Each structure stands twice: as structure tokens, then as C-alpha cells.
């Protein structure tokens, strides 16, 4: 096994064969029965975002193709709809600035119209914007037909908000057929589910999908990463940066002066050798 194989997880049966060959189910877990809700502590926020939207409420379906490619210089990168996102290459772009700092300092967030014309992401910021009010299905998909052999298993992880896991399968995602599984069944909220590969078991030449559903409201706006949780895939670019809502809505949720100290290093949120960090205590 060479270094490239180690970095890409190309370890043969150990990774792709085992997962594909033995996995036959949908990977779905059912939400707990409604009567367990009464034992939970009261919520601090309204939970309109946490009622499962059915397919007829979905306003946008975004397919994200996972591929592998050589960047200039022969560096192997994972790409999601043709964009590789990692901290180093993101930070080296001219004018690059973290998403929330950009929102507070420049009142700017990923451009929605530009993203709609570019496979879901904004070319300036590399961010995937979603508007408040959208119900979005995100379909991660990969194929083993790709000569670059991106076909592996990926534990896909989301920050900020859990999603309804719509399941996984070989071939193409069929929203209507898949939705029939939810007639008497509510998917549970997850933050990590696996995009499988399906080598073997009669799936020698196929594609694979994993689908998630989000309802974006005032309650989950922000900048969130969604990425493969294998570290070697992350540093190869298998990450996506999302912006739920826009800069105006982010500032309205967390206005000044509460965030002032976060906008520069050495500010009051961090403290320094001459003063303690500024702390707001809610539970004293």
C-alpha cells in the first residue's frame, strides 16, 4: 500500500469491500414515539424547525456529486459539486475571510443568486447559501464509474442543526419512491450518517446516495460545516460550508455589543494579560 492509497482510504476490502458487501439496509433509524416527548425538559426555543416536512413541502433538492481530482501540482482533492474546501486553501484565497466575520464586518454572506447559477455554491465565498423558509433536500451522491475512484464510504457529518435522515441506497435517489417509506414512519434527527459504497452483492457498477432534509428557519441560521468525518478526506477537501439565512439575519440574532469581542484577536471575548474575558452569565 502506498501513501496515496492511505490518504484516500483506498485500502481495498478493508474499507470499500466490507462496507459495501455487507450493507443491505437503508440505514434508517425511526424517531422515538411521540409520547416520550412529555418526559423531556422544556425547550428554550420554539421548535417549528423540528416538525418533519414531507416531500410536498420541499422547496429545493440539491444533488452534491462527490468526485476526486488532481489540482494544479498533482495534489489529490475531493470535490463536492466541483469545489474542494479545506482551511488552508480557503484561507489562501485573495480576500478570504471567515463567514461570520464577513457577516459582521462587511454585512456580507454567500450570494444566493450566484450560487443558484453554480451548482448551489457561491464562487466568491465557496459557501452554499440556504434562505430562511426553504425546505431543502441535500442528496450526497457518488459513483464507482468515476475513473478517479472516489467510490468509498464517508461518514457525513453536519454542524449547527441536525437533519432528518432520508436514508441511503445504491443507484439514483428517487424522491417519490423514497417518500413512501415515511407514510407511517418519521425519520429521526441525526448529525452523522454514512454515504455507503455498494461494491459486490450484484452492485459491481453503480452509484450511491445519502439524502438529508432541513427546514431552515430563524432558529437555525448561521454558518455551518457539513463534511466527511474521516480526517484524511477532510484535509483533501471533502467539506462544504453552508450559510443558513443571510448576514442581516445573523446580526439580528446576535447583535452588538455582545459579539464585539469576537471580531478581533485579543478582544474582550478572549482576554489578555491585562484583563479577563468578558462573560455573560445566564444561569447565575
Position 210 contacts Cu ion (CB under 5 A): no
Instruction: For the CB of residue 233, give the shortest distance to Cu ion in the complex, in Å.
Output: 3
Instruction: For the CB of residue 92, give the shortest distance to Cu ion in the complex, in Å.
Output: 23
Interacting span for Cu ion (CB under 5 A) from 176-184, 186-194, 229-237, 275-283: 229-237
Q: Are strands 60-70 and 207-215 parallel, antiparallel or unpaired?
A: unpaired
Nearest to 242 by CA among 148, 92, 134, 169: 134
Position 227 contacts Cu ion (CB under 5 A): no
Q: State the DSSP code for 254.
A: S
Which residues, at least 6 apart from 203, have a Cβ–Cβ distance to it below 8 Å?
Answer: 20, 170
Nearest to 240 by CA among 110, 148, 131, 149: 110
Position 230 contacts Cu ion (CB under 5 A): yes
Count Cα neighbours of 234 within 13 Å in the Cβ-side half-sphere: 13
Interacting span for Cu ion (CB under 5 A) from 116-124, 184-192, 227-235, 273-281: 227-235
Residue with Cβ nearer Cu ion (215 or 233): 233
Instruction: For the CB of residue 238, give the shortest distance to Cu ion in the complex, in Å.
Output: 5
Interacting span for Cu ion (CB under 5 A) from 131-139, 159-167, 224-232, 274-282: 224-232
Q: Which of residues 148-177 bind Cu ion (CB under 5 A)?
A: 154
Position 79 contacts Cu ion (CB under 5 A): no
Position 208 contacts Cu ion (CB under 5 A): no
Residue with Cβ nearer Cu ion (213 or 233): 233
Position 213 contacts Cu ion (CB under 5 A): no
Contact assessment for residue 225 and residue 241, using Cβ atoms and an 8 Å cutoff: yes
Assign residue 161 a region: left if phi > 0, alpha if psi is -120 to 50, beta otherwise? beta
Give 51-82 as a DSSP string: SPPPGGG--EEEEEEEEEEE-TTS-EEEEETT
Position 228 contacts Cu ion (CB under 5 A): yes
Position 77 contacts Cu ion (CB under 5 A): no
How far apart (Å, rounded) are the C-alpha atoms in residues 235 and 239? Answer: 8
Q: Are strands 127-130 and 239-244 parallel, antiparallel or unpaired?
A: parallel
Residue with Cβ nearer Cu ion (222 or 237): 237
Interacting span for Cu ion (CB under 5 A) from 40-48, 129-137, 231-239, 271-279: 231-239
Give 84-114 as a DSSP string: ---HHHHHTSTT---HHHHHHHH-----HHH
Residue with Cβ nearer Cu ion (216 or 228): 228
Q: Which of residues 232-261 bind Cu ion (CB under 5 A)?
A: 233
Residue with Cβ nearer Cu ion (230 or 250): 230
Interacting span for Cu ion (CB under 5 A) from 112-120, 127-135, 171-179, 228-236: 228-236
Q: Which residues bind Cu ion (CB under 5 A)?
A: 154, 228, 230, 233
Amino acid at each position: 500500500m502506498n501513501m496515496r492509497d492511505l490518504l484516500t482510504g483506498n485500502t481495498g476490502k478493508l474499507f470499500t469491500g466490507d462496507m459495501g458487501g455487507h450493507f443491505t439496509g437503508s440505514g434508517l433509524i425511526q424517531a422515538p414515539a411521540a409520547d416520550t416527548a412529555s418526559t423531556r425538559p422544556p425547550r428554550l426555543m420554539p421548535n417549528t424547525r423540528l416538525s418533519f416536512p414531507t416531500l410536498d413541502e420541499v422547496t429545493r433538492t440539491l444533488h452534491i456529486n462527490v468526485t476526486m481530482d488532481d489540482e494544479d501540482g498533482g495534489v489529490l482533492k475531493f470535490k463536492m459539486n466541483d469545489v474542494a474546501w479545506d482551511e488552508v486553501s480557503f484561507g489562501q484565497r485573495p480576500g478570504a475571510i471567515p463567514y461570520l466575520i464577513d457577516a459582521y464586518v462587511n454585512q456580507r454572506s454567500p450570494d444566493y443568486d450566484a450560487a443558484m447559477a453554480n451548482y448551489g455554491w457561491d464562487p466568491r465565498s465557496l459557501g452554499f447559501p440556504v434562505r430562511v423558509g426553504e425546505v431543502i433536500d441535500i442528496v450526497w451522491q457518488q459513483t464507482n464509474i468515476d475513473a478517479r475512484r472516489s467510490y468509498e464510504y464517508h461518514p457525513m457529518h453536519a454542524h449547527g442543526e441536525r437533519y432528518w435522515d432520508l436514508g441511503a441506497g445504491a443507484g439514483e435517489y428517487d424522491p417519490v419512491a423514497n417518500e413512501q417509506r415515511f407514510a407511517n414512519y418519521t425519520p429521526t434527527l441525526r448529525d452523522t450518517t454514512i454515504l455507503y459504497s455498494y461494491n459486490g452483492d450484484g452492485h459491481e457498477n453503480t452509484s450511491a446516495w445519502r439524502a438529508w432534509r432541513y427546514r431552515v428557519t430563524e432558529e437555525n441560521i448561521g454558518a455551518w460545516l457539513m463534511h466527511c468525518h474521516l480526517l484524511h478526506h477532510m484535509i483533501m477537501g471533502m467539506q462544504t460550508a453552508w450559510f443558513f439565512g443571510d448576514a442581516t439575519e445573523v446580526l439580528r440574532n446576535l447583535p452588538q455589543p455582545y459579539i464585539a469581542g469576537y471580531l478581533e484577536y485579543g478582544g474582550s471575548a478572549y482576554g489578555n494579560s491585562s484583563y479577563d474575558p468578558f462573560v455573560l452569565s445566564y444561569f447565575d
